[in-house]
A and B are shown apart, each in its own frame.
Chain A
């Protein structure tokens, strides 16, 4: 087996992207995203695989991966909870949401719950400034959060794998009709 970490599907997806880019190195970002979707995070063997596909050295991939906070350099839980801590959200109580999440999940920032369901992170602006405090869990937004809403979301996700409280990411259905 030529590749150590990436699945055949992931390798095929990366190779399928090649014609879209002027050279192989330009594919580093999408390749890292595909690797993350494949493995849940960007492991060191995965970066070595990407380097092999893109004809780079592993450090050239690592260099890019460590620059962007969107790439997980360590394994994360099934649900990656990212709470915005930038100004607009901070002004409407992002800190108390983070505090509530920590208490509720029993973990610190950057940690994963023992059952492997949730990882908690705080991040910079997610461009939902009109509807803070907000968080992103995997690919979905959850906005205008309150501690009660957070509890509901966490239990929905744990029990049903999805929550009706999800909004966005590009629309704000929760706000519609409130005018």
Chain B
């Protein structure tokens, strides 16, 4: 079967895949055809008429962007007839175009400039006055200059076909045509920046960097975004040490050139004025700016003193999962080898460890599914109703699968199917959405397990595991499950059968499970569900756990948790050190005396009172961070680290894909790449009178660190799901302890169920330093369903009081309506003040110690205005 087609373009023979469009074939033949509306990411629209070519036996010129190649086709792309037509189109496009290239931010990389240079006439046939539009703003971040528009509709089509935000439209017609938002209002969309990037001219440009550069001054550095675990390749464009803008190249990276608001507009955090730029120490209650040498000495002395007086186990370290693989490897080396303590933990503790630990337990690796598997799957079972917010680009992969690969999507989440007007929402796109009661994810997994068990379980399920699951589920009825989830037996059976009977089925899990109560157990049960459905170990199957932090996966792989040495070498229970919260509690008991925190601020991420008490007991607190925090204020030594833009290294995203990040600018002030700090400290700790520090060589580069880290992994790197899966599965089946408890019924009592979670425009605290993103959201709000609000007569922006049962504390927040929320639920994003988290009940995972405190039952009341 031949799917290849040979045709002739400008007398040159070229062979391409069937279905290729002439414009693409021509590119392969070395003939670039001028175009505006064509874009490889979009369906052909053929509206700009620029790409006309002559095709033998066709009476008229054809648009090469919409014409598919056929065998024996003879194409001329630069004949007189073609050039004449293109010049004609060009004359019309330039007819109303302003001569403002000198002050246009697109100047130098504008397709209209380039093609006008190539085809344009020196004079215009039009003597009429140009029609002009007033310059308007397309929202807080985007400038709309319709005089420059060539009406190619790429922005509208990208917004519809790729992002699914559907926020843009094409309005009016003829020379008065323009693109824009509803009724000329400001945009209120996902702000992915895609319309700016895909605009071939300067009609849509970023307001954040307006007039800040000329395009040819920009130095480009390709790196990886640090705002979530998607692992998107982006290009930092800089002038000197200043990041001017972010771009991405079509088709490049795991993201294929698509970005989200955080990736596109979030770069301002790097050079924020509040960054820490010099080492500081606290000496006799004075806060001193010191040299690095002094700071290193203070750290080494402090650590050595703690070891000498209290033993190495009196030292603990916690590192952010936004640090690179090399940094996490070196930090655990510093802790485990130089200090000799097992107490090392990382940001992966805040949920992701549940996924890695459980999947490694069952399958021997957590590298189960990649983005390609999402496209290849026939059926996706998604436990992440907020994926657009938490992992926007993985959500794009899901949208692409539904639209272009006819994949079935089943979503399970405590959300409505409805979406916000201009923000996409996976449950809205789902083949079937299962709206569950908040906190009943686990019961839903049980429902699916029971449905598949009683339906068509995979014959490949290890028989001992099958019996164990059957025994555990036995005695729990669908009625009990329905009373917890609100979902009927039939729905579980339909979706369970749909998933288990699919050729290729893949499970995606998000924070509602990873950071839900007993997430580790839930992940084991999900792994069993995938085995029971036979949906693992083949392309297009498996489990993808979504990471919040850019290197959560890498943090565990590099040994940044107490349970694993580098390469997921599982330590026995008695060899394991403390988790983050256990270290805090050990400090409160006086057991841990020195704590080294890298990019972690436990006063925000863990129960504040408990942490504050503990930190007071410490003899020595080292904080290495980008910004001053509540915790750095208490530190004995503060070391300024470098942001992702200022250092090289590697991040491993939630697929297990390890990608390089590259230094785009020098570290701000005297800040240093964190790996260099650790490298120096490792040597400093080795220094004795006989071996002076100067005689020890540090690591020459991050690559040297990486090499050492890989060598430290006995199973080799990376460990993939291969022949060992069966072995690992059999071992798991033999030792598995499958327990299912009858789920608690969900009782509505008129109170609201509150979820604290992530906003689309922010990631942790770092993004709140980016002006681009604070322009979109700069305060805490409580989201509620409009019908709940109507019932309580609460207007948008109105202040309400929220209180938690059993707590006197009350917080006041403005209300925002949200159609995607289930009635009776509330949502608060976690990036600003954290008063609400102090009020919510706090528990930890019985296996992994993951802290849970994102949900609770609250009451909400109008703030009474005194008149």
Contact = CB atoms under 8 A, between A and B. Distances in A.
Interface in B153-184: 166-173, 180-183
A41 interface: no
A47 B180 CA distance: 16
A59 B189 CA distance: 12
Contacts of A66: 171-173
B847 interface: no
A44 B182 CA distance: 9
A62 B166 contact: no
B45 to A, nearest CB: 14
A63 B183 contact: no
A155 interface: no
Given A57-B421, A59-B182, A62-B182, A67 B172 contact: yes
Given A57-B422, A58-B182, A63 B169 contact: yes
A85 to B, nearest CB: 15
Nearest to B166: A57
A59 B168 contact: yes
Contact of B183 (A44, A56, A57, A67): A44
Given A44-B182, A57-B422, 10 more contacts: A47-B183, A58-B183, A59-B169, A59-B181, A60-B166, A62-B182, A66-B171, A66-B173, A67-B170, A67-B172
Interface in B466-525: none
B796 to A, nearest CB: 15
A59 B170 CA distance: 9
Interface in B168-209: 168-173, 180-183
Contacts of B167: 57, 59
9 contacts: A57-B167, A57-B182, A59-B167, A59-B169, A59-B180, A62-B182, A63-B169, A66-B172, A67-B170
A151 B183 CA distance: 37
Contacts of B181: 59
A47 B166 CA distance: 15
Contacts of B166: 56-57, 59-60
A63 B422 contact: no
Contacts of B168: 59
A63 to B, nearest CB: 3
A62 B168 CA distance: 10
A93 B522 CA distance: 80
Q: In the complex, which range does the number of interface residues on chain B fall in?
A: 10 to 19
A86 B170 CA distance: 26
Q: In the complex, which range does the number of interface residues on chain A fall in?
A: 10 to 19
A44 to B, nearest CB: 5
The 9 closest A-B pairs by CB, nearest first: A63-B169, A59-B169, A59-B182, A57-B166, A58-B182, A66-B171, A44-B183, A66-B172, A62-B182
B422 A62 contact: no
Nearest to B165: A57
Interface of A: 44, 47, 56-60, 62-63, 66-67
A49 to B, nearest CB: 13
A67 B183 CA distance: 13
Contacts of A63: 169-171
A48 to B, nearest CB: 8
Nearest to A56: B166
A93 to B, nearest CB: 26
B381 to A, nearest CB: 24
A87 to B, nearest CB: 18
A62 B421 contact: no
By CB atoms of chain A within 10 A, which of B167, B173, B180, B183 has the most? B183
By CB atoms of chain B within 10 A, which of A44, A47, A57, A67 has the most? A57
Contacts of B172: 66-67
Nearest to B160: A60
A60 B170 CA distance: 9
Contacts of A44: 182-183
Nearest to A44: B183
A14 B171 CA distance: 23
Contact of B421 (A47, A58, A67): A58
A60 B169 CA distance: 6
Nearest to B172: A66
A44 B183 CA distance: 7
Nearest to B168: A59
Nearest to A73: B183
Contacts of B173: 66-67
A66 B171 CA distance: 6
Nearest to A65: B171
Interface in B74-95: none
By CB atoms of chain A within 10 A, which of B168, B169, B170, B173 has the most? B169
Contacts of A59: 166-169, 180-182, 422
Interface string B324-358: 00000000000000000000000000000000000
Contacts of A57: 166-167, 182, 421-422
Contacts of A62: 169, 171, 182-183
A59 B179 CA distance: 10
A60 B168 CA distance: 8
A44 B184 CA distance: 11
Nearest to B176: A66
B247 to A, nearest CB: 26
A49 B173 CA distance: 24
A177 B432 CA distance: 65
A32 B422 CA distance: 21
Contacts of A67: 170-173
Nearest to A68: B173
Contacts of B422: 57, 59
A62 B166 CA distance: 12
A157 B167 CA distance: 43
Nearest to A64: B169
A62 B182 CA distance: 6
Nearest to B170: A63
A95 B167 CA distance: 41
A56 B421 CA distance: 9
Contacts of B421: 57-58
A58 B168 CA distance: 10
Contacts of B182: 44, 47, 57-59, 62
A60 B166 CA distance: 7
A67 B170 CA distance: 8
Nearest to B178: A66
Contacts of A58: 182-183, 421
Contacts of B169: 59-60, 62-63
A58 B171 CA distance: 12
Nearest to B419: A57
A56 B422 CA distance: 10
A142 B167 CA distance: 42
A80 to B, nearest CB: 20
A59 B138 CA distance: 14
A44 B185 CA distance: 11
Nearest to B156: A63
By CB atoms of chain B within 10 A, which of A44, A58, A67 has the most? A58
A63 B181 CA distance: 9
A66 B422 CA distance: 20
A21 B638 CA distance: 66
A67 B172 CA distance: 5
A37 to B, nearest CB: 21
A66 B178 CA distance: 10
B658 to A, nearest CB: 39
A54 to B, nearest CB: 12
Contacts of B170: 63, 67
A60 B160 CA distance: 10
A35 to B, nearest CB: 15
A44 B421 CA distance: 15
A128 to B, nearest CB: 23
A57 B421 CA distance: 6
A52 to B, nearest CB: 10
A47 B181 CA distance: 13
A59 B182 CA distance: 4
Interface string B409-421: 0000000000001
A135 B455 CA distance: 69
A11 to B, nearest CB: 18
